[in-house]
């Protein structure tokens, strides 16, 4: 119930406007978001690189309502890709197609994505298309496969909460493209998605085994230690080298586990979001793991007490 409430709140525009002006809300967001500018994000990435971690950079934003906004988002990503390469950080890019105009039509999103891929091509910068809610899966995959036909430095995300994902995974593997597997952070109906966490987790592990056995450099995106340990055990049993895949985790979450994975010799990439449109992202992170709410509030209270003493 709490998860559903938080996801619904993430969709409220009025609350977003209030949150972005609220000092406490902005402080909470900084636990999950690297800052509001590219310089903030690059600073966070340098720190991660210094700890043996790579990164993927996400300029937060989604569901634009005009072609002008979509073009501006594409131009921003072209600048981001140049900044990644000019600064020599170990980082690639992640993005959402609704930020590039998918709600306005596949052709709009595809045209803007082609501009980004052309900017990425000279540097061979890898670009990952995030998966949004189930309403967007077909359109997202359509744009992805169109891009893949001419740009092999593009990948996609799939979600284990959806019934359809095993079939989608086969298509992407057969194409030879790279996949990031996640559980899914959207509120989905029972008609298309597993409702019980155990079912989502079991499907995640089934899909993970397929990825590790057959896919091109898969990314296993989870903070669930049981699933991480199961993936490790599978690779040991199958003799799969650590260099053939990576774990991915979110900025600011389970830093202890991130450090442990690096210490054990695994490839670890951290998803680093930045920008002013942080409210929906923050609320989905809270919904994924409601314990984050209490963790953040506890830390904020500790900081307030420290400042007063």
* pTM (whole model) above 0.75: yes
26 burial type by CB count under 10 A (0-12 exposed, 13-18 middle, 19+ buried)? middle
Would you say residue 23 has pLDDT above 70? Answer: no
Q: Which residue has the higher pLDDT, 20 or 224?
A: 224
303 is a domain residue = no
Number of domains present in the structure of the chain:
1
The residues carrying an active-site annotation are 130, 180
304 is a domain residue: no
- The span from the CA of 292 to the CA of 251, in Å, is 13
Report yes or no on 120 lying in a domain: yes
- Per the structure, the complete domain to which residue 201 belongs is given by 33-277
Tell me the average pLDDT across 182-209: 96
Structure tokens at 218: 């898969």
Higher pLDDT, 45 or 9: 45
The answer to whether 117 touches 84, Cβ cutoff 8 Å, is no
pLDDT at 114 over 90: yes
User: Looking at residue 177, which CATH number applies to its domain?
Assistant: 3.20.20.220
Whether residue 19 is contained in a domain is answered as no
Q: Write the pLDDT tens digit of every residue in 63-108.
A: 999 999 999 999 999 999 999 999 999 999 999 999 999 999 999 9
- 253-289, pLDDT tens digit by residue? 899 999 999 999 999 999 999 987 767 677 666 666 5
Q: Find the mean pLDDT for residues 209-230.
A: 97
Within a domain: residue 287? no
**Does 204 map to a domain?**
yes
Q: Does residue 45 sit within a domain?
A: yes
Residue 197 lies in a domain: yes
Model pLDDT, residue 6: 45
């Amino acid at each position: 119930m709490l998860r559903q409430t938080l996801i619904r709140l993430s969709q409220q525009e009025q609350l977003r406007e209030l949150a972005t002006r609220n000092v406490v809300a902005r402080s909470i967001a900084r636990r999950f978001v690297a800052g509001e500018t590219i310089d903030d994000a690059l600073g966070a990435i340098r720190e991660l690189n210094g700890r043996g971690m790579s990164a993927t950079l996400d300029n937060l934003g989604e569901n634009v309502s005009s072609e002008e906004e979509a073009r501006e988002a594409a131009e921003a990503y072209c600048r981001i890709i140049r900044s990644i390469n000019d600064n020599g950080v170990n980082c690639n890019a992640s993005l959402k197609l609704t930020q590039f105009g998918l709600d306005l039509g596949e052709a709009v999103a595809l045209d803007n994505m082609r501009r980004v891929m052309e900017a990425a091509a000279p540097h061979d910068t890898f670009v990952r298309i995030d998966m949004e809610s189930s309403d967007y899966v077909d359109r997202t995959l359509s744009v992805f496969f169109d891009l893949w036909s001419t740009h092999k430095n593009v990948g996609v995300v799939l979600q284990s909460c959806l019934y359809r994902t095993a079939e989608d995974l086969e298509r992407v593997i057969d194409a030879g493209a790279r996949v990031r597997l996640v559980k899914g952070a959207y509120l989905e109906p029972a008609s298309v998605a597993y409702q019980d966490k155990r079912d989502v987790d079991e499907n995640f592990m089934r899909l993970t085994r397929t990825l590790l056995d057959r896919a091109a450099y898969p990314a296993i995106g989870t903070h669930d230690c049981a699933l991480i340990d199961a993936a490790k055990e599978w690779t040991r049993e199958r003799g799969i080298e650590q260099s053939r895949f990576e774990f991915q985790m979110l900025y600011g979450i389970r830093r202890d586990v991130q450090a442990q994975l690096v210490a054990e010799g695994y490839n670890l990439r951290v998803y680093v979001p930045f920008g002013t449109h942080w409210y929906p992202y923050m609320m989905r992170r809270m919904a994924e793991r409601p314990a984050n709410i209490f963790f953040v509030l506890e830390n904020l209270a500790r900081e307030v007490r420290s400042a007063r003493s």
